[in-house]
Structure 1
């Protein structure tokens, strides 16, 4: 398994930098807070802790990861947006915080009050269903869903999140009708999918439950199959057109607007060095993430482009979030 994970990480080596480009001399003099706007145990929390561990050593100051769930990530985002712009408060952000939710519903933060630091990773999406239906494959699940239109539910980490949009795009691509069950954090959906109160979720944190036989992962979206799911086909292999939106799913770091450029460059540079390390790449693959770094400027452009893209996709699919 280790060899297979290493090979997969190597296959994406071009996504991670070989060395940090930044020459910033900014040196933190106290611990740095990394706010995760979701609950513990989810994908965002896992990515945050893996990077925080590596970057703390390099920066000479501890990066403290704090989970602040609520309002589909809005509570944590608002906390960082209103923090002092001094480099000591960061937000571990998924795509939705900046590129999806603010354009379709009222949020408790101003996205313009946040600035890009760097991209960290690209998630690979496992699609997991309850075992209570008896379906053993994606195709079998689709048959059941078509026989019961509007009777099945998919869980997400909240309104306007990437997992919410995933449910809409995936079900429409498959020609099935399901209802949306938003949770404060995707971990809160665990008991409901175990018991069959909801039928589908999208998060790498459910892969261990798949291995334990408590749920069944039947599909994954990514360039290739994960080592932990060698027999689970990708969406492309299943003939699904997800309109390319998964390629725009990311986790990255944001900071309060006005944070000194030398601080942004130093943090980004250390994240780049971390992303280039094979052991971190392997650990990320183990939680269904691919290391992928972008500088403050490149990540800022990515965010702007994705905001336009998702606004168009939401309009095209006529998704109503409120």
Structure 2
């Protein structure tokens, strides 16, 4: 009975917020990943965020954060978290696939290293390598190759891992879309257009214009803080967050984590662009209140590293990616 009341309150809150033309970001709490598989939390939060499930037969692409096979498990979107989301969409009759273009190695290699392949094995969900691309010209004038799988799907389900980031302050929904750029291009963009945080952030933000319908389901159950995207410390936050807008999601989560928004280069460029969803006053919290997670102790980097990689790191990363690709 309590769970049903919780569900209806979330739904009512979402309707009121949509009428007021705010950007709903629904927050829930979940103590562990196993629990997420056993209840209707995803349904309640998604409805609260104003999301209507896709039609049966819709092509749904899950886009987790698969940064690297070499880091700890909490550097990537959790395997059971991905399974819970996949099951939820399968139960609604969707055709589900998973894809990413990791910074190092292949999507399959990262999935195998972190137990994602094993978690999805009985669901027959294909793991898509972003090797087919479409050339897209961003409004900043830069041309990039975006994964065709992402452009062709009916719904992109953005599954960011909430974590600190040594170059971008935090990595959340907007930053996770950088993985839609295929192959070695990402490293090349770091080198060619990494002279400053603002220019690079505009590049990443521009990607939002090409993405089809999107749902963000953030993995904030176990997060990475102090630094990132690979070598940070684990923090048990117990947060589940759902939104239909990546910028609104990031704006909300900066507030939830008690972080100054102006320290995030991605938030800065969205705010300067006059995007309403970068204003915390335009964000609604139809689920748990934003201060529910206050005092959790999330620590972000005090100083940001340059965007442009050191030359030696760049060459090593390129060779490592090529080596992993050649070995399957």
- Taking structure 2 as the reference length, the TM-score comes to 0.29
